[in-house]
Structure 1
């Protein structure tokens, strides 16, 4: 019997033995209104998950996701240099060679941006193509497979009846230029959205220029009252230079410098270090209501990446191709308010082929071949989900997925036979509930297992070795929280405890080449709160027409457990790269004549930079502001605005190289800088 069939039987057996069938996508409507906050079938207030949804460019700059995503508790986004993103949920920056780890990211519900090898090229997207983002904090493997940090769902469009065109242009400090175009059309039952974006910047530091061209198309049709088709495609050509990390002395004396030469090791400028990634992505999804209470969803998707990265010591070329499918069948019943339930069963399958070649870097040109590896990563998971609302007061969810991950590799440059590495099949359960204490107050609790196998970038980093000994990380997460919401006030608080086994941490050698090892694990207790209050609700009279205050607070006491490295014992040390406290507060004021002002403050406490906790990045305080004028001209809107970042002129590092050899931890962010722009919609 094949391994695949054995896994199928094993999965079905576990379902039959389990009394906890699983979470479901309860939403029975085809379209969610653009401003209705609904996450997997529930309003955000009722959801048993720690989840938030935002429109990241609503008040923040339109050319970056950083400041918008950092308003959410438990979420941290860094940018080592323009275009070089890092995203973490609940501290998963512990391992991040290319920016996103331990997180599954999907586009428009159907299409995984995270490939079978675990890599996610989030920086390929232009922010102009994103309408809203949902962030689910904590492992959600029962529905989305292997992840330990959480899930991100990006919406690129919302079907609307209005036809419009929007153009925008931004310019600012350090040669910033960002231009976008969006065309939205509805023709009978056909809905089209086209997005185009171009961005360039000289960067604050030497060797930190950025250029990105982006094209995106969406199509949506309800071609029958019970049938719906959706399609998505985008092309991204991203180029950004990588200045490299600085020592503390270099960072303090000249933070704008790129990594200098040291001894026989050349510097970043001399080696012309950069990343270029040309990516094309396409997917098509179909939904069908098979009967009154049945629905079937299927999507297929594929992507092609051409990735080039001349670094200090190596010139890496990756050619990656991914294809896969996601499908499920769903049934629901609503006989009366006493019991409404929903159940589904599905499968997601992906395969990624990576052709990885490393050459010696000769001043930005590839030289002698050092290593060439063909690596195939394949993953699939089966999931089942169940949800029930009882007496309009109690929501119960239970879910279970079976996950299978495998990679094969062939080191062609050393004439090595193909090898296969199969990780142990993993069952990832989740149980969650929400209880309505009173009409505006809800209590929630959940238990879930997180799991994350090593990514291709960790198994085969640019040290030219295949690290077969690298083990997956996994653990159980326990959390509970309260939500309150009325017409003016929204409040959310959650506490959790997460114990992660075999947590993967990063290392680097003298040339800056990064590789990865397993630690003993981590203990991760935390508190997250979010508050929003409309001090003045939107009105038609007065100088001040609206005033809203927001705050998010994150407090993490993460530490290593049973972690030794050679003769060093790091047990009890703080987890590297995770600040203990983060506070983000904002104020939005709308004045008469549609004038507005947005102010945001961010305090981040000091951050341990190595596992030994002998080096820390200093705490920092950031202040940013944006002011503008929305001018209504019949059916058209003109928005003129100016903004400023880092108004307090703080010197800080936004994106640290953890455990870097020689103390090269620091990547200086820009000092006080400004931008201005105009957007016209007609």
Structure 2
């Protein structure tokens, strides 16, 4: 903190110099669309971070992990290539595999299914323009979640015509290819993105491949109306090497668990996602938006304990009407809307006979239904004061039908009717460039279908939805034409009936409610343009960024009564590091070269609820050198980068509460990547 204050003081003392620099040297003000209408991030009364296109390009094109982890309060892990985990403010607790308890949208379309599960690993990083991360419960307009919301913005047509291509490779026989086409007409635009990735992975039994395509056309069919759609297909497969004990990790981190090799453990996921959205400006003050989303997933997972097949399909509808009045005593906007979604899962488990399906163990037909109505109000009460308030009324239900070994009548589980999720937020700007904010919000998140019916186990009818209140205070500071930007926040989150994962002796999962958690934290995000761009210097520009996360997360009340009563109250929250500090420096050099370097410090991580085992802290150093031609019509470039340049031995994507103390999934040691980019 002292270093941050000194940097700010230094820049203030040099303000006279800064004012002589042309406006073109200042950083662009960031705008977000998280709350329906585009607005400056500086004035938004919520904790939102933006992962820009530039940030995504500064890191390896093979994975979203390093770019996403630059956001304070967000932790993304990769147990092996393609096996993502994602958490916001500690929500990793209930996400041993995949992404749960975080609502994800691709443009206006719902990626998360009705039960709260998201296949984020389907997305090609190169297809993404930017990512907005809303931290903390955002149920007032986005429905059930206690972690947060992620809004993925795909690339759209900018010029009248553009074609971009890239080829890349790297360590462990990694190869990546992308091709994008954008066409912008008077009333019609279309973007097409295609990509493929394959890698043998750092560890045994960790190869991965992905084939991806998405198409997003947009048609302005009248002066007041436009229609846009999304068609996305992803064919993803990755082997799963399994967790290692500490002794195995220290002796041979690149090895796989023997049973994972014997059972040929892997995941295959073929998913279609399609959507259509229509917007009509009924008048200057009134507009209506409606979007439909449909998805279909074929999921196959020969695992150590069993062989699982899932056939999943989802349908979703989101619609709202917006009224905006800028001529009132104070400008205000109101949105009234509805979102509903239904997911159907046909699930069959078999004996895994060395990678082949054996005798069937279980079969079930599971359905999840969620729907909520919402209202949102925002107003600029004065030039300094803005307020936002919103509330949603939620209904959630599951139905279960056993198909094997015995058929049963359909059972239904309804959670509390009319579950309210309110949010109130205020921001105050006493001086230009200085904004204080505060908010109170409630989260609610029922268990996902995978938590209700884990692989190879019976349906759990006792597990409850988790819910809680979050309170936060923050500030944003923008100075020197936005060349200095600082966002800091303190939050206090009380979560009840937190859902945690356990593992049976036969290595099947189970989920229980862990009572109450007490989650308090400080998050800071700083960006400083130390040297504004100047063509005449050797170092043409120099930008410093820092992301700091400091957490005190504890189980407040956690009595665990399985195979004997245990009291974990007061223990650290499993899977959450207490400190994460990420700093980077980026500079523009002569002859159109640029250089980027980033350091990541992550403190030790508790690996089980008992806090008897911790993953050690680690330091990561990444760097990238890039060159791009000055040609606007035929841009051409190349890049060379390295990850984990300190050759740190660490685990990324630990198996929490693992059976047999197999917690550790070793990340790659020092590795490199390179690529070429072409454009028109």
Structure 2 length-normalised TM: 0.93
Where in structure 2 are the equivalents of 1:326-341 lying within 5 Å? Answer: 326-335=318-327, 338-341=329-332
Where in structure 2 are the equivalents of 1:609-628 lying within 5 Å? Answer: 609-628=607-626
Check if 1:545 corresponds to 2:540: yes
Answer whether contact 1:111 1:301 (CA < 8 A) is retained.
Answer: yes
Distance 2:612 2:549 in 1: 24
How much has 1:159 moved relative to structure 2?
4.1
| Deviation string, structure 1 residues 431-450 (Cα, Å, up to 9, x no partner) | 00110120010000000001
Where in structure 2 are the equivalents of 1:139-158 lying within 5 Å? Answer: 139-158=137-156
Distance 1:382 1:159 in 2: 33
| Deviation string, structure 1 residues 364-401 (Cα, Å, up to 9, x no partner) | 01110000000011110100010100222111001000
Distance 1:246 1:282 in 2: 39
How much has 1:178 moved relative to structure 2?
0.5
Corresponding residue for 1:57? Answer: 56
Distance 1:346 1:633 in 2: 46
How much has 1:634 moved relative to structure 2?
4.9
**In structure 1, the residue corresponding to 2:655 is in which secondary structure?**
coil
- 2:412 pairs, out of 415, 420, 444, with 420
- 2:279 pairs, out of 274, 280, 287, with 287
**In structure 2, the residue corresponding to 1:250 is in which secondary structure?**
helix
Corresponding residue for 1:666? Answer: 664
Distance 2:426 2:223 in 1: 33
Check if 1:89 corresponds to 2:80: no
- 2:255 pairs, out of 254, 257, 264, with 257
- 1:398 pairs, out of 366, 384, 389, with 389
Corresponding residue for 1:302? Answer: 294
Where in structure 2 are the equivalents of 1:299-378 lying within 5 Å? Answer: 299-335=291-327, 338-378=329-369
Answer whether contact 1:559 1:573 (CA < 8 A) is retained.
Answer: yes
Distance 1:161 1:298 in 2: 27
- 2:423 pairs, out of 426, 430, 452, with 430
How much has 1:594 moved relative to structure 2?
0.9
Distance 2:72 2:632 in 1: 39
**Structure 1: 4+ residue segments shifted above 6 A:** none
Answer whether contact 1:482 1:493 (CA < 8 A) is retained.
Answer: yes
Corresponding residue for 1:210? Answer: 208
How much has 1:323 moved relative to structure 2?
0.6
**In structure 2, the residue corresponding to 1:316 is in which secondary structure?**
strand
Answer whether contact 1:509 1:660 (CA < 8 A) is retained.
Answer: no
How much has 1:36 moved relative to structure 2?
5.0
Corresponding residue for 1:506? Answer: 501
How much has 1:489 moved relative to structure 2?
0.2
Distance 1:381 1:549 in 2: 42
Where in structure 2 are the equivalents of 1:221-236 lying within 5 Å? Answer: 221-236=219-234
**In structure 2, the residue corresponding to 1:123 is in which secondary structure?**
helix
- 1:472 pairs, out of 465, 468, 483, with 465
Distance 1:606 1:457 in 2: 29
**In structure 1, the residue corresponding to 2:557 is in which secondary structure?**
coil
Answer whether contact 1:497 1:524 (CA < 8 A) is retained.
Answer: yes
Answer whether contact 2:115 2:446 (CA < 8 A) is retained.
Answer: no
How much has 1:616 moved relative to structure 2?
0.1
- 2:568 pairs, out of 567, 570, 584, with 570
Distance 2:305 2:49 in 1: 41
- 2:649 pairs, out of 645, 648, 651, with 651
Corresponding residue for 1:22? Answer: none
Task: Count matched residues.
Answer: 641
How much has 1:510 moved relative to structure 2?
3.1
Check if 1:589 corresponds to 2:582: no
How much has 1:91 moved relative to structure 2?
0.8
How much has 1:490 moved relative to structure 2?
0.1
Computed over aligned residues only, the root mean square deviation of the Cα atoms, in angstroms, reads 1.1
Distance 1:135 1:73 in 2: 10
Distance 1:81 1:547 in 2: 34
Distance 2:393 2:400 in 1: 24
Distance 1:386 1:627 in 2: 46
**In structure 1, the residue corresponding to 2:450 is in which secondary structure?**
helix
Answer whether contact 2:96 2:655 (CA < 8 A) is retained.
Answer: no
Distance 2:506 2:262 in 1: 14
Check if 1:38 corresponds to 2:32: yes
**In structure 1, the residue corresponding to 2:81 is in which secondary structure?**
coil
Corresponding residue for 1:248? Answer: 246
Answer whether contact 1:75 1:88 (CA < 8 A) is retained.
Answer: yes
Structure 1 length-normalised TM: 0.93
Moved more, 352-361 or 630-639: 630-639
Answer whether contact 1:97 1:457 (CA < 8 A) is retained.
Answer: no
Check if 1:459 corresponds to 2:452: yes
How much has 1:35 moved relative to structure 2?
8.2
Distance 1:501 1:38 in 2: 31
**In structure 2, the residue corresponding to 1:67 is in which secondary structure?**
helix
Corresponding residue for 1:5? Answer: none
Corresponding residue for 1:28? Answer: none
- Runs of 5+ unmatched residues, structure 2: 1-27
Distance 1:449 1:634 in 2: 49
**In structure 2, the residue corresponding to 1:128 is in which secondary structure?**
helix
Corresponding residue for 1:70? Answer: 69
Answer whether contact 2:361 2:456 (CA < 8 A) is retained.
Answer: no
How much has 1:98 moved relative to structure 2?
2.9
Distance 1:97 1:604 in 2: 19
Distance 2:57 2:541 in 1: 15
How much has 1:632 moved relative to structure 2?
2.3
- 2:398 pairs, out of 400, 404, 407, with 407
Distance 2:30 2:245 in 1: 48
**In structure 2, the residue corresponding to 1:45 is in which secondary structure?**
helix
Mark the CA change 1:421 to 1:545 in structure 2 (over 3 Å): closer, same or farther: same
Moved more, 272-281 or 391-400: 391-400
**In structure 2, the residue corresponding to 1:556 is in which secondary structure?**
strand
